[in-house]
Amino acid sequence: MKGDLQMRVTALHDEAAGIRRVRLEPVDGGALPAFSGGAHVVVAMQDGGVTRRNPYSLCCDPDDRTGYEIAVARAATSRGGSAFIHERLAVGDVLVVGAPTNLFSPDWRAKKHIMVAGGIGITPFVAMMAQFARAGLAFELHYAVRSRAAAAFAGVLQDRYGPRVKIYAADEGARLPLAALVENQPLGTHLYTCGPERLMGAVLDTARNAGWPEQALHSEHFMAPPPGDPFTVTLAESGREVAVGPDQSLLEALEAAGVNPRYLCRGGVCGECATKVVEFRGTILHADHFLTPEERAESRTIMICMSRFSGDRLVLNL
Amino acid sequence: MDTAYSATHRPETFREETFRGDFSYANSPENIRHFPFPFHEDHYRYSVNIEPHVPGLPGSAFEHLIDVDEHYVAEMADRAQVLAEDPLRYQALPHMMLAQWDTLELLMEEQARAYPHLFTLTRNGDQWRWINRPLGIDDTFTFGDRSTLPREPLDYICRQTQGDIALMDQRDGNLWMDAGMITAQADWSLDFDVGMNFHEWHAPVPLAPQMGVFDRALKYLLNLQLGKPVRRLNWTMTINPRLDTSPENYPKWGPDRTTVTPENVGQKVHLRVELQSLWRLPRSNGMLFVIRGYMMRMDEVVTVPKWGRRLPRVLETLPEELATYKGLSRYRQTTIDWLKRHDDGAPTSPGIFPD
Ligand code: HEM
Ligand code: FES
């Protein structure tokens, strides 16, 4: 895509157990665009014959124009991207990186920013805190981890921000004090959460039950496309049929077939990949966070980065 | 062949002219061809006319992404006068400070890149030096430190950029007009709209909301990407080349509409075009909206035969609601009658550029 950057891996660092930080610098040596805390980039990786494109939050200072950094957890059931980064990526490799996009932006009106991270969900907050600190804004980070050994960035964040960073390690018996966190906050406080779905659900429910307004609650879903049974999709314009494998998303299958649909997040959040369903016989397995329940029921639109299909005929307006 | 467009647009001299009083504003022949004529066909059609804002035809208003022309110095003087009389034409809510710096950077970079003979930006870390030759400015400041500039960053750079500017915050699935400098507007007010969202500030527009135009446009804009600005053209007409046709000053310009006669159409009636560009801002994730206005009187329009033929045809097909909204009702027919003398009925070529 236009705006894509050729970037070279200049450092690989094991940030914590099972979490690898990758530093990328532009091949042409120019200044990168600044970005906003919470932004992600889509990184394209050539893994054998397969192109893998995964979104990763930027976890560096948004005003450092010399490089971007991402941190990738080794996934238990890796679809490829994370195994590739952990096992095969080497310093000197060149990756194609899309322009930063932000679907998890701070609300700049906030009187105070409270961030609740779980595990690898820490990454967007590393960049946010750099911006909050520079602008002199009030913030707190509450960071739940399995163990200190698995807590990426914990040391550096505590060094930078001192008591504004609180770590809760499960193996030490520490738990996020959610109820206390959402109580007695000044009016105009905003709450951000990123991490496992269960943690985010608990954070948001606790805040809602305590009467927080919806506009003050922000969450980022780190979701990979779900695997599933293979199926076939028919393209209305050409009549072509494309097979979607069990570990492939519909979007990935289309890309592999040389069709290049629009996308931004590849995680079912932004709406950019919405595609019209011309005809279907079967069930669309919606797995996005974008369509309304009514739109899902109608199934006139499918978010091809996440959702799958079960049935014998699916025709898309492509 | 478009020989008039072979040369790159490179303003060297700036006209001494006024947008009030004796209205001495006029376009040079080169600047007439530089004008972004907004109609690509002979009848009027409403649409979500958004396209990538990429450098266009050399010599045209689309060549450089932030366009500077022979009116630069005079427009900046008129803006300063409007602001002196009405400081509320500039507003910025406190949470927009990061977006202000983003905007200052973008406008300095684009102008310095396009017109190195007019503007120079030198950066050494966060120590920046900005030279603006047409306005005689040479300032050194610390990027990000408000106290090192004579004014707020947005105020500072908008006084050195042609076109009105609105800054949007993006949150809760909407865009909010939370800052701007608006001194050359087609009858709307920043002081009234500030803090409103996309649907609220567009509420006065007829027809388009029912067509779903604004729902689609908003959805599209929310995903606007860094480094991929987009543009659209909007237009209206103004009697006398007056930049400040604001609701606040309606008593000064509203009555001008009653002064159009068949004899003075060529001099008084101006086509007013806004080349609107929309940019994602990097650090704030906000959005910059540049409303770059151009005015050309009917005498000048008809020096381009294609435009002289097309404009009356478009005006005849404009729905009455829109003519009323744009404030053309009183002089539309008089203008069409005058323009028709320049329309020999010949077919026009597709696209907006002169033949
Ligand atoms: C986010 C940036 C935008 C801003 C700040 C903005 C602002 C405005 C304002 C202040 C008006 C005048 C309303 C009045 O009469 O009070 C207006 C009119 C209008 N806007 Fe926008 N607008 C934006 C984007 C768009 C886009 C993307 C479209 C595309 C469909 C659009 C379509 C229109 C139309 C059709 C009108 C009526 C103008 C006419 O026909 O003369 N606007 N806009
Ligand atoms: S690419 Fe964002 S929803 Fe599919």
Model confidence band, residue B213 (pLDDT cutoffs 50, 70, 90)? confident
Beta bridge partners of B175: B170
Continuous segment of H or E residues that includes residue A235: strand A231-235
Q: Which residue has the higher pLDDT, A223 or B151?
A: B151
Model confidence band, residue B211 (pLDDT cutoffs 50, 70, 90)? confident
State the Cα–Cα distance between residues A7 and A58, nearest whole angstrom.
Answer: 14
Give me the interface pTM, i.e. the ipTM.
Answer: 0.91
In this predicted structure, what is the pLDDT of residue A296?
94
pLDDT at B1 over 70: no
CB contact under 8 A, B285 and A131: no
Q: Helix A123-135 vs helix A154-161: angle between axes, to the nearest 10 degrees?
A: 10
Average pLDDT of chain B to the nearest whole number: 95
pLDDT-flagged residues of chain A (< 50): none
User: Which residues, judged by CB distance below 6 Å to any ligand atom, belong to the binding site of ligand 1?
Assistant: B 48, 50, 166, 168, 175, 177, 188, 193, 201-202, 204-205, 208, 213, 217, 221, 232, 234, 236, 278, 289, 322, 326
Amino acid at A286: H
Nearest Cβ partner for A3 among B93, B96, B228: B228
- Candidates A182, A185, A187; CA nearest to A203 is A182
In this predicted structure, what is the pLDDT of residue A184?
86
Helix/strand/coil for B63: coil
Q: Do the bridges between strand A112-118 and strand A138-145 make them parallel or antiparallel, or are there none, so unpaired?
A: parallel
- pLDDT per position as a tens digit, B214-256: 988 999 999 999 999 999 999 999 999 999 999 999 999 999 9
In this predicted structure, what is the pLDDT of residue B2?
42
Model confidence band, residue B5 (pLDDT cutoffs 50, 70, 90)? low
CB contact under 8 A, B225 and A99: yes
- Candidates B326, B207, B322; CA nearest to B272 is B326
Q: B104: left (phi > 0), else alpha (psi -120 to 50), else beta?
A: alpha
In this predicted structure, what is the pLDDT of residue A1?
60
Of the bound ligands, which one is closest to the alpha carbon of residue A273? 2
State the Cα–Cα distance between residues B115 and B18, nearest whole angstrom.
Answer: 24
Give mean pLDDT, residues B131-137: 98
- B115 token code pair: 């017109």
In this predicted structure, what is the pLDDT of residue B209?
78
Test mutation, B168, B283, B288, chain A, max A CBs within 10 A = B283
Q: Which residue has the higher pLDDT, B212 or B310?
A: B310
Whether chain A has a CB inside 8 Å of the CB on B96: the answer is: yes
Give mean pLDDT, residues B105-118: 97
Using the mean position of ligand 2's atoms as its centre, give its distance from the Cα of residue A263 in Å.
5
Which residue of chain A comes nearest to B105, CA vs CA? A34
Ligand 1 atom 32: the closest Cα is on which residue? B214
Domain boundaries, chain A: 5-102, 112-220, 231-316
User: CB–CB of B14/B74 below 8 Å?
Assistant: yes
- pLDDT per position as a tens digit, B310-350: 999 999 999 999 999 999 999 999 999 999 999 999 999 99
- B229 token code pair: 């600005």
pTM, rounded to two decimals: 0.94
- The CATH H-level superfamily of A5-102 is Translation factors (2.40.30.10)
State the Cα–Cα distance between residues B241 and B244, nearest whole angstrom.
Answer: 9
User: CB–CB of B127/B142 below 8 Å?
Assistant: yes
Whether chain A has a CB inside 8 Å of the CB on B169: the answer is: yes
CATH of domain A112-220: 3.40.50.80
Residue with tokens 């076939």: A232
| The two domains A5-102 and A231-316 share their CATH topology (first three levels equal) | no
- Pick one of 2.40.160.60, 3.20.190.10, 2.60.120.10, 3.10.20.30 as the CATH number of A231-316: 3.10.20.30
In sequence order, the 6+-apart residues with CB closer than 8 A to the CB of B124 are none
In this predicted structure, what is the pLDDT of residue B201?
96
User: CB–CB of A81/A54 below 8 Å?
Assistant: yes
To 5 degrees, how large is the angle CA A130–CA A134–CA A139?
65
Helix/strand/coil for B249: coil
Sign of CA dihedral B134, B139, B140, B143: negative
